[in-house]
Chains A and B, each alone.
Chain A
């Protein structure tokens, strides 16, 4: 299987919470990341979590890490239409990153 796996699509209604899930195979990564990519743009770092943490909260974003199951999730509270984008999970490998294929989040009003 892929090194970093994500579901490809998620559709939510404005105001709902979104949860994007990611699994990875190599547990040696010190950091795990979430990036956002809007159409025609580069990748924007949203947040990252250190591997010895279970949770990190940053305003509307909550990252949960289950190291035993090698599972990472990103929860976006009160999802807005401006949150529509592709979200990439990535794990650190040395000082480079290995990305999943991305989850397209579609927010309808």
Chain B
């Protein structure tokens, strides 16, 4: 079974630029999560989708971050404009419904904002 795919793996941008990350979850997983992991911290949930609907986006800085999952499969996370404090690893995870809330993580995208 293929794991969670993310691209790009690394991205360097200047502050005030925009950036987008892509995630393809494990086939059949209805739930998709985006987490932000700042260096030295644990991952923090940004947004959670169930199929193509948003379940929880309470931690998403909506003035600059947006995310979508239009067909209930792939998802994109966008930052516009980026700030220095957005430098982090952005992790995508997916989960099958009703299986103990097990989440499977992708390798992440490391964003550096200069």
Residue positions of A touching B, CB distance < 8 A: 4, 30-31, 35, 40-45, 48, 50, 88, 90, 92, 94-102
Q: What residues on A are CB-neighbors of B95 within 8 Å?
A: 95
Partner of A101, one of B4, B41, B103, B108: B41
Q: How far is the CA of A31 from the CA of B33 in the complex (A)?
A: 18
How many chain B residues touch A (CB < 8 A): the figure is 24
Q: Which residues of B contact A (CB under 8 A)?
A: 4, 31, 33, 40-45, 48, 55-56, 91, 93, 95, 100-108
Contact of A42 among B40, B42, B108 (CB under 8 A): B108
Cβ distance B45 to chain A, nearest Cβ, rounded Å: 5
**Contact status B55-A95, CB under 8 Å:** yes
Within 8 Å by CB of B42, from A4, A41, A44, A45, lies A4
CB distance from A96 to the nearest CB of B (A): 5
Chain A residues near B56 (CB-CB < 8 A) = 94, 96
The reply to whether A45 and B102 contact each other, CB–CB distance below 8 Å, is: yes
A31 / chain B contacts, CB cutoff of 8 Å: 100-101
Is the CB–CB distance between B45 and A42 below 8 Å? no
Q: Are A42 and B103 in contact (CB under 8 A)?
A: no
Residues of chain B with a CB closer than 8 A to A101's CB: 40-42
Closest residue on chain A to residue B10 by CB atoms: A40
